[in-house]
Structure formats: C-alpha cells, structure tokens
Copies of this chain bind each other. A is one copy, B any other.
C-alpha cells in the first residue's frame, strides 16, 4: 500500500482507554498478521490462540487485549485495549478514507448529463459518466464511466464505482455501495413460445434497493416484468450474483459470490446464501435460512433451516449421506458376500 500513517493518528482513533508499552518512532507502512508482519507494520492479536505469535512478530505497532502479559521488543509499541479487532477496523476505515478520499462534489466536464436530469450540487459525477433524461441524482458519488438511465434515481450517500449501470427507472437507495461493473435493471428473461419462436415478454418494471445495500462487481439484477425487483435494507450481495426479475430479498441477507436466484422467488430477512448456490423460481425462503455453497434449492424453505446439496437436503442429512456414499463400494461388496451366504443357507 502506498501510504504512510502515523502512530499519533492511531492513538487519536483508539487512544482514549488504551494503555501503552514501548515506543516506535517511524511511520506505519503496512498492516499484516502477527507472523507475516515486518518492520513498519501494524498488527493485532484478535484471537487468543495466536498469543505465541506476538513473541515472534516483527511488527512495529501491536494492538493487544487489555489482559495481555508480555513486554515489547526494542523499537516496538504495544497498545492494549478492550477489543483489538474492533480497534483495527476503526483504523482501517480511517486509512481507507485517506487512501480513497471521497471525490469533491461537481460534475466532470467530460460527463454527458441530460439537461432534464436533476443532479444534487453535492453529487460527484466522475469522468465520462452518462446521466439520462429525467434521472435524479442525490448527494452521491459516481466514479468514472457510470451509466444512469432515464428517470433512474440515485439516493444520497450512494457510492457507485466505475462502470456501474443503473438502467431506466431503477432506484438505488441511500448509502448503497455498488462495485464496478454491476448492472441494475437489465431485462428479465421472459419468453412465451408462440408461432414457432420464443416471443419476448416485455419487462416494464424496475429494480428498487433499500438503504445500506451493497452490490458486488459484475453482479446483475433484472428489472421486474411489472412492479419491482426488490433488495431489502442492509442486504449485502457479493460479486457475479444473478438476481432474476421479480425476486424480493428481505433485510440483512448475505448473498455470496456467483449465487443465482430465479424469477419471483422471495427471501425473508437474514437469509444467508453461500457461494455458487442456486435457487429455483417462485419459491419462498424463510427468514434466517442458511443455504450452503453450491446447493441447488428446488423447493421452498422454512425459516432458520440449514440446507446443503444437489438437490438441497437438511444439512445434517446431507453430511451423513456424504459419509455413507464413500462406503458404497464397500457396501456393494459386503452385500454380494451376504447374498452368497444366504444363498448357501437357503439350499
């Protein structure tokens, strides 16, 4: 990382109730795990099981729990506080703001903004963005080459990375964070077979995302046939996820990379869908359900169930089946043997 960070700044952020031992005079030039750290690095003890790594760590500044017993090496600073992991997150957030400062408000002269669009004076519109007719942009950041369609809306404090597409009529909620290349509002995949060909069913709905939604790189979310495809507040979607038309996702769900959710399926709140899982169309997934990676869900799920497999089975059953499958070759042999024994008895 191309940054230099001061010990003073760290103490400003985490300092209030912290205790110190030792000293480090230089700048912080990196962050690393205890074992991998070199001189200049900040490191931390987040989990007591790595306690012994502290003794061998070359890190210059270490965040340690209050009850840590041990002395710093020469030129090393120990900072002891309630929650080293949380302290690290605060420091990282501050570093992030330094590394990727929020661009200044204003419209880059190379952006193409339709005269009927309404752009907040607090918005930052990056180079080569395109803002369509009647679009409404709040106090948001649009990095380079973002495309916003006709009558689309981007709420305050949304952050759109380069090359995001928000298509016609779609609405992005407050504090959403849209990674590069994601596409909000592609056409739903709907056809009727008629006169020897697949006739396209018009997709005239939109996509609406609530507040605090994150959407990953190159993820695609289709507009509804009519009405809205909807993503609930606080839901976090990873890269390369596909969400079909008229899907409705509840609040605070986690949808991990390369998941596919088919048309008109509904997810409750707090659902976790791990990587590469697929969910068929027109299903109801209850709140708090957990779907393991690669699972193929083909029927609705009750709240809080855990499933895994192709097709999905209750997690415990799947794990049992997996173990028994490995014993199939042996079972078939034992069975052949048993049949012979019984045959001889039966003579």
Chain A contact residues, CB within 8 Å of chain B: 1-2, 30-32, 36, 85, 89, 92-93, 95-96, 99-100, 108, 110, 112, 126-128, 130, 132, 144-145, 147, 149-151, 161-163, 165, 167-169, 177, 179-181, 183, 186-187, 189, 191-192, 196-206, 212, 214, 216-218, 220, 222, 225-227, 234, 236, 238-240, 242, 244, 252, 254, 256-258, 260, 262, 275-276, 278, 280, 293-294, 296, 298, 309-311, 313, 317, 320-322, 324-329, 331-332, 334-335, 338-339, 341-342, 345-346
Contacts and interface: CB of A to CB of B under 8 A. Distances in A.
The complex is assembled from copies of this chain, and their number is 3
B179 A181 contact: no
A38 B192 CA distance: 27
Contact of A278 (B132, B294, B321, B345): B294
Given A128-B130, A278-B293, A334-B335, A186 B180 contact: yes
Given A180-B167, A278-B276, A127 B99 contact: no
B238 A189 contact: yes
A243 to B, nearest CB: 9
A212 B218 CA distance: 24
A319 B4 CA distance: 54
5 smallest CB-CB distances across A and B, nearest first, come from A186-B217, A92-B202, A31-B226, A130-B144, A96-B202
